[in-house]
Amino acid sequence: MSTKRKIRIVVAKPGLDSHDRGAKVIARAFRDAGMEVIYTGLWQTPEQIVETALQEDVDVVALSILSGAHMTLFPKITKLMKQKGLNDILVLGGGVIPDEDIPALKKIGIAEVFGPDTPTNTIIKFIKENTQKTK
């Protein structure tokens, strides 16, 4: 008799760049795939993003950045998440992120990085497959 579990997801834009086209398109696609989406808006600090993930008890944190500051900001976010015990949340990266940075990002706990041209379905499929494992 339990209600069907919903995937809850934060779509966040850390850093100062304001290219939110991708983040918004993806937020809509997540909603249309039946997820509950919290879109944070621009200019979020790592603290705000992590606290949102905690209070909203999300399954996924999807980070979008196009300014090139991902190597500074992503590690801050994953570190904070670890400190707060948010170990069961899937963290994804998207935006303009050079291939050569991806191994380092995976090492710090970014589960996957989705570049431009990635179909939204690919990301949705990845989320559905990988959130079942953790919860």
Please report whether residue 87 would count as binding another protein according to CB under 8 A.
no
By CB under 8 A, name the one of 96, 102, 108, 111 that touches another protein.
Answer: 96
Side-chain-side CA neighbours of residue 31 (13 Å) = 10
Tell me the β-bridge partners of 62.
11, 92
In the complex, the smallest distance separating the C-beta of residue 107 from another protein, rounded to whole angstroms, is: 18
Backbone angles phi, psi at 9, to 5 degrees: -145, 140
Cβ(96)–Cβ(116) below 8 Å? yes
Contacting residues toward another protein, per CB under 8 A: 1-3, 5-6, 8, 15-18, 20-21, 24-25, 27-45, 47-48, 51-52, 54-57, 67-69, 71-73, 84-86, 96, 98, 115-117, 119-121
